[in-house]
Structure 1
């Protein structure tokens, strides 16, 4: 396991990576398409490694 913690992304950051609206990212999280968790303040966050893996698998599917 790595000593550095995984970077956490906001819905806006994830939305920019997927070229969609942040509300779409929230809907994907509610539907279980993306894994997220809530901060103590109630804000949704996403683990960068999981998002990058999801993007890679999506691109792989498109290339097939």
Structure 2
């Protein structure tokens, strides 16, 4: 998939979504924050993990738009 050329469309159509993963203290087990993770929910391919598109966005200087 050509992530770079489809990125603007994905942003404009809401295909890029934020998912929040809790950060937990090891000893207490208490949640102390969250990490935001981007997922690309493509209508054709389904949910695309960040490992498949983040590097392309960084290489093409588009990561700031994320």
Q: TM-score, normalised by structure 2?
A: 0.28
Tell me: higher relative CO, structure 1 or 2? Use CA pairs within 8 A at least 6 residues apart.
Answer: 1
User: Greater strand percent: which structure?
Assistant: 2
